[in-house]
Amino acid sequence: MNATPPDGSPIDAAFVRRWLDTAATVVEREAAALTELDSPIGDADHGTNMRRGFVAARTAVEQEPPDTPGAVLVAVGRQLISTVGGASGPLYGTLLRRAGKQLGDEPAVSAAQFRDALRAGVDGVAQLGGAAPGDKTMLDALFPAVDAMSKALDGGSGTADALAAAAAAADEGAVATTPLRARKGRASYLGERSIGHQDPGATSAALLVTAFADTAREAGA
């Protein structure tokens, strides 16, 4: 039986598997839009790559369901590294594998533990890509998401409300990449021409954070 964390809002393997199903569905729905965002500043394949990766991840987890939340995240990260092309595979794989390893073998974790794991994953992405907030990358959605989640939890919010705050911040961060000049990644080669386009990586990151929020809301966490 899964242990219930002190805050009464457990995040267990079933929760993360539901997130994966939600995320895969959302990526499928938004794949064309992500590729359209990627067309003027990237290789026009971000949506296609993300869809392929999440289909593979969902299939792998369905075939051999991990029994801890950390193990689910590690499994998804591993699949994304092996199936998503370009830089996105290693970056998203690092995000989820670092987060999963941070959670360890706990059968259920609190929202605060989950927040700490996400922060470890985001820090891993920053280290791997050598990017920082303001560089017009997925970090412009991920850092605000973790900060907003921390603020909400510190203010006494439960899991669902904290993840909703994270999702709103991630979405705002993604939109705010539009006027930025890219300093990292494929888009940085365009220089000034990268200005005026919303970053596809930040956009897909916001979708994944929103999938966590939707999962928590549906679970009544």
CATH number of 11-215: 1.25.40.340
Structure tokens at 183: 């300093």
What does the pLDDT read at residue 9? Answer: 61
- Domain regions of the chain by residue span: 11-215
Instruction: Count the alpha carbons within 13 Å of 204 in the hemisphere toward its beta carbon.
Output: 32
Structure tokens at 106: 């706990």
Quote the DSSP letter at residue 86.
T
Q: Are 61 and 21 in contact (CB under 8 A)?
A: no
> How confident is the model over 83-110, as a mean pLDDT?
94
Q: pLDDT digits over 114-168, tens only?
A: 999 999 999 999 999 999 999 999 999 999 999 999 999 999 999 999 999 999 9
Alpha carbons 201 and 107: distance in angstroms, whole number = 31
> How confident is the model over 67-78, as a mean pLDDT?
98
